[in-house]
Amino acid sequence: MLGFKAANTPIELVKRSEEENVAADKDRYQSLVGKLIYLTHTRPDIGFAVSMVSHSMSNPTETDMRNVNRILQYLKGTLSRGLYLQKNSNRGIGVYTNSDWAGCLSNRKSTTRYCTFVCGNMVTWRSKKQSLVASNAEAEFKVMAYGIWEGIWLKRMLNEIRIPTNYTMRIL
């Protein structure tokens, strides 16, 4: 990877053509994707790309291997990025939610995304395709409900381990 040029994005969505179904080295592919899955704990920015390449674990092609290499190129150019936890006087819980409307081109389903912050540090995040096709308003209400559930769960968990959370939860 030393000779590779850094990439600006972790994945480039390209439709697979029929001639690109040449099998890749399965052991190497699974090893690299496994390491990338582990890395997503501190690099949520590659989560979507890693989930896309992990779909081909049982039968990877050269196109899939190129996608894994693209993620590695992106990581090479973004070594200073990651999650940093720092001490903060803010004791509140913040939830950021977002949804795209019919973002999946194949079935028009929306993608739900949210992340939660405790004491100013991101502690949980999620991105998931919604199970049903929804209007824009329905998609936004669903993602807000998921975010509120996550925030309530975090508040209860913190109270259970005796960390006071008397502050109002912020939903953005």
pLDDT tens per residue, range 25-53: 899 999 999 999 988 877 888 888 898 88
Q: Which of 51, 77, 103 is the last residue of a domain?
A: 77
Q: How far are the Cα atoms of 59, 69, 126, 133, 167 from residue 50, in angstroms, in the given order?
A: 16, 11, 14, 24, 36
pLDDT tens per residue across span 56-66: 888 898 888 88
Q: What is the per-residue pLDDT for 71?
A: 92
149 and 103 within one domain: yes
Full residue range of the structural domain in which residue 28 is found? 18-77
Q: 97 and 158: one domain?
A: yes
Q: Are residues 98 and 156 both part of a single domain? A: yes
Is the domain of 66 the same as that of 110? no
User: For residue 100, is pLDDT > 70?
Assistant: yes
Same domain, 105 and 149: yes
Asked if 102 and 108 touch (Cβ cutoff 8 Å), the reply is yes
Please check whether residues 107 and 59 belong to one and the same domain.
no
Q: Is the pTM of this model over 0.85?
A: no
Select the more confidently predicted residue: 93 or 108.
93
* pLDDT given for residue 16 in this prediction: 61
Query: Please, what sign has the CA dihedral across residues 41, 46, 52, 53?
Result: negative
pLDDT of amino acid 78: 87
On whether residue 5 sits in a domain, the answer given is no
Domain count, the chain: 2
Evaluate whether residue 73 is within a structural domain: yes
Listed residue (13, 8, 6) closest to 64, CA to CA: 13
Domain assignment present for residue 83? The answer is: no
User: Is residue 73 located within the same domain as residue 100?
Assistant: no
Task: Specify if 1 maps to a domain.
Answer: no
Q: How far apart are the first and last CA of the chain?
A: 39
In a domain, 87, yes or no: no
